[in-house]
Structure 1
Amino acid sequence: MKISAFLFALFFSLPVLARADMVDRVVAIVNDEVITLSEVNEEGKAVLQRVAENVPASQLEDALQEARKTVIEKMIEKKIMLQEAEKANISVSDEEVQMALDRILERNATSTEQLQEEIARLGMTEAQFRENLKQQVLSSKLVNLEIRSKVIIPEDKIIDYYDTHYTERVEEGGYYLLQIGIGLSGGSASGTDGAAGKEAARKKAEEIRAMAVAGKDFKALAQEYSDLPSAADGGDIGVLRKEEMPGAMYEVISRTPPGQLTEIIETGAGYQFFKVLSGQEGQILTKVPYESVKDDIYDTLYQQEMEGRFAEWLKNKKSLSYIKIL
């Protein structure tokens, strides 16, 4: 279930409260705090267990050592985050923890009972889980204060992303096309039955073209009626150059303005007609309207900026901290 992946990530990303009664040894120092081996084993037990179950015995010791190094690095980063939150006098109330818990349940469409089962499966108590969640909320508040409030995505950056990902330049002699093709009934044009099949195919093509002319969505019509492989893509066959098209096809396409439908042409297998999306040298073809994807692009760029700034912020905080791995 989806909640399992979430809980695993949360379990691995925040310190667990349970500690061994006997502290075996200190494995890292972060400013004035320490991390012990027992804490590492407790924090990373799900990961370590997975390594133990999947790595051959001959490689197990090295694999466990590498896994512990990864856990230690994560714990060092979390120590720094929590220390910075304390410096900034950031706190989290029980009500905020409950709100975060409610969001988890809603986002994963799960019940409290199911959540408790997953928590137990990970070897945690509900109190431990709530404390981990509290620390996650604390970290989120710190990120809001230090980073998120300072991220600005200018309009020109959104437009640049749109031009790169949602437009296509049609090169010289190229035509961006959609197609609909109707095959001959019985697959042959010879004889009386063949003539009837041709007539039926022609009539069907004319009816579909008429629907397109009347404003029906061309791609939807292609998906529903076209007999060609391109139907799965809404008739989209991309950009074709003159030399890539049969003569009859190029003849009707070259005289059709962008945005318009060609005449119906006969082929050896039936009848086809096309919608010319673009056909001018150097013309920019818009795949989707800018306004329809503007918010999505903003979210994407915002997330990228956040991740980059956070990585830089954390790197700087680590460089200013006393960190020693023993």
Structure 2
Amino acid sequence: MHQSSLPRDERIMRQIPVDSDWLASLVFPLALIMISLWPPAISEARLQDRIVAIVNSELIMLSDMTREFETEQERLSREHHGSDLAQRLKTAEYMALTKLIERRLQLQEAKAQKIQVSDLEVKQALEQMKRQGS
């Protein structure tokens, strides 16, 4: 088929050489731009979690502290208001972080001393704590 007998659009398309490298160099930056603009919720979630403490080489993240602090925060919010609530929340947040740091230090020391606890020992300790609490 002679090129002049083709529709005009097809003739133009046949005259444009398609270079796959050129196409890839265009698609990749466009994809990066789309990805960077598309999921703001994902980038916001990453920004919200941050390091709040480093215990030797282990990180304690804000999300760890939030989980530790959550129940106490709910209780305090029900029972207190205003500046009293703010002060109590600040103290509870500090205590939650302190507890996480102490727990990490204990686990690191147990690992360093090669202390291992079996499931049976954990169950027995829990039973003993229940008996002492009654």
Q: Pick one of 111, 121, 124 that aligns with 1:86.
A: 111
Question: So what's the TM-score if we normalise by structure 1?
Answer: 0.25
For 2:81, the equivalent position in structure 1 comes to 56
Cα deviations across residues 57-85 of structure 1 (Å, max 9, x unaligned)? 34434432232112111211221111111
Report the structure, 1 or 2, having the larger strand content.
Answer: 1
- Give the secondary-structure state (helix, strand or coil) at the position aligned to 1:44: helix
Q: CA RMSD in A?
A: 2.4
- Give the secondary-structure state (helix, strand or coil) at the position aligned to 1:89: coil
Query: Partner amino acid for 2:67?
Result: E
* Distance of 2:133 and 2:94 partners within structure 1: 31
Structure 1: which 5+ residue stretches go unaligned?
1-20, 110-326
1:67 aligns with 2:92: yes
Pairwise CA distance, 1:50? 2.4
1:100 aligns with 2:125: yes
Cα deviations across residues 246-272 of structure 1 (Å, max 9, x unaligned)? xxxxxxxxxxxxxxxxxxxxxxxxxxx
For 2:54, the equivalent position in structure 1 comes to 29
Query: Partner amino acid for 1:71?
Result: A
* Distance of 1:28 and 1:106 partners within structure 2: 36
* Distance of 1:56 and 1:105 partners within structure 2: 34
For 1:7, the equivalent position in structure 2 comes to none
Question: So what's the TM-score if we normalise by structure 2?
Answer: 0.56
Residues 63 and 106 of structure 1, relative CA distance in 2, 3 Å threshold: closer
Cα deviations across residues 159-186 of structure 1 (Å, max 9, x unaligned)? xxxxxxxxxxxxxxxxxxxxxxxxxxxx
- Give the secondary-structure state (helix, strand or coil) at the position aligned to 2:122: helix
For 2:20, the equivalent position in structure 1 comes to none
Pairwise CA distance, 1:44? 2.4
Report the structure, 1 or 2, having the larger helix content.
Answer: 2
* Distance of 1:108 and 1:30 partners within structure 2: 32
* Distance of 1:32 and 1:55 partners within structure 2: 37
* Distance of 2:86 and 2:92 partners within structure 1: 10
Residues 59 and 106 of structure 1, relative CA distance in 2, 3 Å threshold: closer
- Residues matched between the structures, number: 89
